[in-house]
Amino acid sequence: MKRRAIISVSDKTGVVDLARRLVSMGWEIVSTGGTASILAAEGVPVTAVSDVTGFPECLDGRVKTLHPAVHAGILARRDVPAHMEQIAKLGVTPVDLVVVNLYPFRQTVTRPGVTWDEAVEQVDIGGPSLIRAAAKNHAAVTVVVDPADYGRVLAEFEQDGDTSMATRRELAARAFRHTAAYDAFIAGWFGGRLGVRFPEQLTLTWDRQQQLRYGENPHQAAALYVDPVPAAGSVTAAQQLNGKELSFNNIGDADAALACLTEFPSSMPTVVAVKHGIPCGVGTGPDLMTAWRKARDGDPVSIFGGVVAANGTVDAPLAAEMAELFLEIILAPGFTGDALEILRRKKNLRVLQVTAVAPGQDEVALRDVRGGLLVQNRDVLLLKDEPRVVTLSRPTTEEQADLLLAWRVVKHAKSNAIVLAKGGGTIGVGPGQTNRIWALQDAIRQATTPPLGAVLASDGFFPFADSVQAAAAAGIRAIIQPGGSVRDADSIDAADEAGIAMLFTGIRHFRH
């Protein structure tokens, strides 16, 4: 009896060569719909699945392989005589190979303007059933869901007459991942369309983009997984134009730089420098060169070995100045040819082009905890309302601009966080302290220029007046903070006494 293979694929890559080589080894090919038509047109002998089932494909192809004549042949255990006797009596031929990949649901729903009905028609039913049946009975059946595995499977058939148990187990595991990811993507799409943000079961799927050399430290293994539909402007969707492979920490820092950069409109030339996931220098100006110099000078020590992101095209003069420093990564939506030529002289410098620099919308942020996963809306809101002046003094126009700049940056510094700004750039960042006064003292102590006349942003409210008093002693002229403390009056009084302008935003931006 010929060995039987069922082949039914949406991705037709390599399928003709696969079927032809199987036939040359004496296999019978059973196929459906479009796959059968392609094989027949190429002169490959093929048996229609309807000839196996004795039942025509129906309901516009919704029902083709869902039949005992197919599934009994896949699921029968070869080591159980009763199974083999039963399918023999039923006239069912055993199936030894199942090659299936699924309807292109993902590709369909990512098309602009796709309708609900169009999406639903791409939910595969028979395909997952075939794959799961074959994977369950992998003791005897080989299941293949990826054309990349065709060559390996054919080689084993040609050399040994069958695939090894190790191969079948590996392919079965891959098959279960394939159907799980497919179902997870469908569930996520349905939930998204219905506005279900936190379902009772969270099913997520990502595709492995690359295995990394190591994780945060050399003794940790790591890999990068990406959203099947990566967000525009994300580091995972960036095009690498130069440099060695991105590391675990590179990716995290690049993501942090882009996240901070999205707070600034594209009409405002901005450069963000990040070190260890925290903005260390941010500058704005009439052009990118001015913005770069402010970002660089905001912390010329920490920027060494850092990541820099710009929201405009990097030209040759800017590239030349950037190349004077040791930087790990430069990200921008564009680079002139001359700029790339300059940057490529540093073979290890990673240069990434991002297609867009825009804040994410309606996204969720994930954080693992041992034994669980914390899920929340991503913090994409900068302000709910116009900041409210709560002091007798009001900020000047220049101070208002610097206050908003500092507020945009403090949102991306570790809590407790303080950011000092002056003249369109940050001059001091105090992140990640266990109390706010220490964060303020750090920012003042590390300021690259005297903070006289600078402004201050705090990601959380001031629980005591001591922070205002310390700011006043340093010469800081304006403060922006969430407000909402039971001691707000103490802070307001201290600001009035010092002649400091203070604004309340009514929104905090903790980043633990």
Check residue 421 and report its DSSP letter.
E
pLDDT at residue 469 greater than cutoff 80: yes
pLDDT for the residue numbered 3: 92
pLDDT at residue 229 greater than cutoff 90: no
Mean pLDDT along residues 333-346? 96
Contact 476, 437 (CB under 8 A): no
Contact 55, 48 (CB under 8 A): no
pLDDT at residue 488 greater than cutoff 80: yes
CATH number of the structural domain 233-353: 3.40.140.20
CA nearest 429: which of 437, 439, 419?
Answer: 419
User: Prior bond to 435 cis, omega within 30?
Assistant: no
pLDDT for the residue numbered 58: 74
To which CATH superfamily is domain 388-504 assigned?
AICAR transformylase, duplication domain (3.40.140.20)
Mean pLDDT along residues 308-319? 97
Mean pLDDT along residues 287-293? 97
Mean pLDDT along residues 175-192? 91
36-85 pLDDT, tens digit each: 999 999 999 998 888 888 887 777 777 777 788 888 899 999 888 999 89
Mean pLDDT along residues 302-308? 96
Q: Which two tokens stand for residue 283?
A: 């500058």
Residue 208: alpha-carbon gap to chain centroid: 11
CA distance 486 to 463: 7
Q: Which two tokens stand for residue 417?
A: 């966080």
Between 133-137, 195-199, 300-304, 463-467, the lowest mean confidence (pLDDT) is in 195-199
pLDDT at residue 360 greater than cutoff 70: no
Give the predicted TM-score (pTM) of the model: 0.86
Q: Which two tokens stand for residue 99?
A: 């090659």
CB burial string 252-282: b at 16+ within 10 A, e below: bbbbbbbbbbbbbeeebbbbbbbbbbbbbbb
Query: In CATH terms, are 233-353 and 388-504 the same topology?
Result: yes
pLDDT at residue 22 greater than cutoff 70: yes
Where helices occur in 306-386 by DSSP H, the ranges are 316-323, 337-343
Cβ neighbours, 10 Å, residue 440: 27
Q: Which two tokens stand for residue 98?
A: 């199942």
Mean pLDDT along residues 478-504? 96
CA distance 461 to 18: 66
CA distance 509 to 488: 18
CA nearest 426: which of 407, 446, 404, 406?
Answer: 406
Contact 390, 504 (CB under 8 A): yes
Which of 63-67, 110-114, 475-479 tops mean pLDDT? 475-479
Is position 276 annotated as part of the catalytic site? yes
CA distance 447 to 449: 5
Catalytic one of 67, 219, 276, 294: 276
Residues above pLDDT 70, as percent of the chain: 99
pLDDT for the residue numbered 57: 77
Helix (H, G, I), strand (E, B) or coil at 191: helix
Which top CATH class is 4-194?
alpha beta
Residue 187: alpha-carbon gap to chain centroid: 18
pLDDT for the residue numbered 362: 66
How big is the CA angle at 51 (ends 49 and 54), to the nearest 5 degrees?
105
In one-letter notation, the amino acid at residue 340 is L
Residue 151: alpha-carbon gap to chain centroid: 31
CA distance 121 to 411: 43
Question: What is the overall mean pLDDT for the chain?
Answer: 92
Between 91-100, 231-240, 290-299, 312-321, the lowest mean confidence (pLDDT) is in 231-240
Cβ neighbours, 10 Å, residue 7: 23
Sheet strands (E) in 333-448: 334-335, 350-353, 364-369, 372-377, 388-389, 418-422, 425-430
How big is the CA angle at 255 (ends 250 and 257), to the nearest 5 degrees?
95
383-429 pLDDT, tens digit each: 999 999 999 999 999 999 999 999 999 999 999 999 999 999 999 99
Is position 2 annotated as part of the catalytic site? no
Catalytic one of 89, 136, 347, 414: 136
- Sequence spans of domains, the chain: 4-194, 233-353, 388-504
